[in-house]
């Protein structure tokens, strides 16, 4: 019987590659994509990397240099990235019986493919995605998820591999060299803190981790780290999660482009955020039992710090925008507009469950839920944009002055008719 192999498919510099699909002039150029509010670099092309641009670099620091270096920046366009990601995932789902989407740009496939055919299978996936979506990927293959991750990292680092690395097909000396050279922090699941704690116990390289006694790892660290160590040895210990689990928490939180200093602006921000959270919850067909609203001052600078928050249990589980908005506005009584300049606010919805699992008794139902306000809002916003209609303060044709900055936004070429790309046939 052929053992299962794990294929980790990962879109190369995902956001930059998505920008390049509809703007070929960006290909081969140093490109960066910025976080919300055009705050810092969250994705960069290898050309940008080569120029010394670093992940996380604040845009206000990079901007003057970018001009000189010819680095091109784009505001993040999650609608575009999400749509292209969906296309990739739908194709991948059809390529293997077992499929797990791990993030917006990564998926695990598992299939009983013989080792000597793994490379060809991985290549075919790469080719299909290039042809049908126009996105470049690397594929890492291994007998466990952790090794597939490691192989993927290797495929990215070593150009000669052509974007595919089959871990168990590498010469043993090569694998051992990698394992004994790479620090534990390079393994999936081991971050900064954990690698420091491991180092204190004399475990520095991935090879050290693999050689450590599993029972001791479980006792001194956690069962999770023990599983990771087993997986590095080639023993599957982390399940593929093929069932898409419903989330059990939803956060909508944003930094403001300029601080909010008045009750009226905060009322508006909370109204808009609560209604955006409501829309997301409805998209998942879920309802929430608890709402937390929070805001906070900037952690930078030495101004007065203030981070108020409220949490309340809703009278009945709901996704209704009016109920959530009213609940969120309770935060206003805890904010201090005399002193604080708020840099951010957010809504957290918890205790989520499927909307149909808890059909509320009429006794508890919110009267206006039956008037389908949520559905109406959704319909109008889907057709005319999020600012076209809203409850209370949340309908704004023009973005408010504190809305996030997105000065270098590309068109949403696959989700909005008005923003379609045009091609000229010569």
Enumerate binding residues for DNA (CB under 7 A): 35-37, 39-40, 42, 56, 58, 60, 102-106, 149, 187-195, 221-224, 245, 247-255, 298, 300-301, 311, 343-344, 346, 404
Report the nearest approach of DNA to the CB of residue 249 (Å).
4
Task: Annotate 316-336 with DSSP letters as a single string.
Answer: EEE--HHHHHHHHGGGGGG--
What's the per-residue H, E or C state across 267-319? HHHHHHHHHHHHHHHHHCCEEEEEEEEEEEECCCCCCCCCCCEEEEEEEEEEC
Could you say which DSSP state residue 8 is in? E
Distance (Å, rounded) from C-alpha 249 to C-alpha 350? 5
**Residue 332 vs 404, nearer CB to DNA:** 404
Report the nearest approach of DNA to the CB of residue 227 (Å).
9
**Residue 339 vs 420, nearer CB to DNA:** 339
**Residue 258 vs 372, nearer CB to DNA:** 258
Report the nearest approach of DNA to the CB of residue 88 (Å).
13
**Residue 37 vs 278, nearer CB to DNA:** 37
Please give the helix or strand (H or E) that residue 141 lies within, else none: strand 137-142
**Residue 188 vs 337, nearer CB to DNA:** 188
Beta bridge partners of 8: 108, 140
For β-strands 5-11 and 106-111, DSSP reports them as antiparallel
Report the nearest approach of DNA to the CB of residue 344 (Å).
6
Please give the helix or strand (H or E) that residue 223 lies within, else none: helix 223-232
Give helix then strand counts, H and E, for the chain: 14, 13
**Residue 98 vs 373, nearer CB to DNA:** 98
Report the nearest approach of DNA to the CB of residue 300 (Å).
4
Report the nearest approach of DNA to the CB of residue 72 (Å).
19
**Residue 175 vs 344, nearer CB to DNA:** 344
**Residue 224 vs 365, nearer CB to DNA:** 224
Q: Cβ distance 297 to 305 under 8 Å?
A: yes
Phi, psi (degrees; rounded to nearest 5) at 165: -135, 120
Buried (b) or exposed (e) across 31-67, using 16+ Cβ within 10 A?
bbbbbbbbbbbbbbbebbeebebeeebebeebeeebe
Report the nearest approach of DNA to the CB of residue 224 (Å).
5
Question: Could you tell me the strand order of the sheet in which 137-142 lies?
Answer: 98-103, 106-111, 5-11, 137-142, 164-166
Report the nearest approach of DNA to the CB of residue 398 (Å).
20
Distance (Å, rounded) from C-alpha 398 to C-alpha 294? 24
């Amino acid at each position: 019987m052929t053992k299962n192999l794990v294929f980790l498919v990962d879109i190369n510099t995902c956001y930059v590659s998505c920008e390049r699909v509809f703007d070929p002039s960006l290909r081969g150029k140093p490109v960066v994509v910025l976080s919300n509010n055009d705050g810092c670099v969250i994705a960069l092309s290898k050309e940008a990397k080569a120029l010394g641009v670093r992940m996380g670099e604040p845009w206000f620091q990079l901007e003057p240099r970018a001009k000189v270096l010819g680095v091109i920046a784009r505001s993040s366009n999650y609608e575009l990235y999400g749509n292209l990601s969906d296309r990739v995932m739908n194709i991948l789902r059809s390529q293997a019986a077992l499929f797990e989407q791990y993030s917006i740009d990564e998926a695990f496939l598992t299939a009983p493919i013989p080792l000597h055919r793994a490379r060809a299978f991985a290549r075919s996936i790469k080719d299909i995605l290039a042809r049908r979506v126009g996105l470049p990927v690397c594929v890492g293959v291994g007998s466990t998820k952790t090794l597939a991750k490691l192989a993927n990292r290797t495929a990215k680092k070593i150009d000669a591999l052509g974007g595919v690395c089959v871990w168990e097909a590498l010469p043993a000396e090569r694998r051992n060299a990698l394992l004994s050279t790479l620090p534990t922090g390079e393994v999936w699941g081991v971050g900064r803190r954990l690698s420091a704690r491991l180092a204190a116990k004399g475990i520095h390289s991935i090879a050290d981790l693999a050689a450590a006694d599993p029972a001791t790892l479980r006792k001194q660290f956690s069962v999770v780290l023990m599983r990771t160590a087993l997986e590095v040895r080639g023993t599957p210990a982390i399940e593929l999660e093929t069932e898409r689990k419903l989330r059990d928490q939803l956060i909508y939180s944003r930094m403001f482009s300029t601080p909010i200093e008045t009750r009226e602006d905060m009322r508006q921000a909370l109204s808009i955020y609560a209604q955006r959270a409501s829309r997301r919850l409805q998209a998942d067909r879920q309802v929430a039992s608890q709402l937390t609203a929070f805001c906070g001052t900037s952690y930078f600078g030495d101004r007065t710090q203030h981070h108020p928050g409220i949490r309340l249990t809703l009278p009945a589980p709901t996704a209704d925008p009016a109920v959530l908005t009213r609940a969120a506005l309770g935060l206003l009584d805890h904010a201090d507009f005399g002193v604080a300049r708020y840099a951010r606010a957010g809504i957290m919805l918890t205790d989520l469950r499927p909307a149909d699992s808890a059909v509320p008794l009429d006794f508890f139902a919110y009267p206006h839920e039956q008037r389908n306000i949520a559905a109406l809002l959704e319909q109008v916003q889907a057709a005319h944009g999020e600012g076209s209609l809203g409850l209370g303060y949340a309908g704004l044709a023009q973005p408010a002055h504190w809305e996030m900055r997105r000065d270098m936004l590309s068109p949403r070429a696959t989700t909005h008719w008005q923003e379609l790309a045009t091609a000229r046939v010569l």
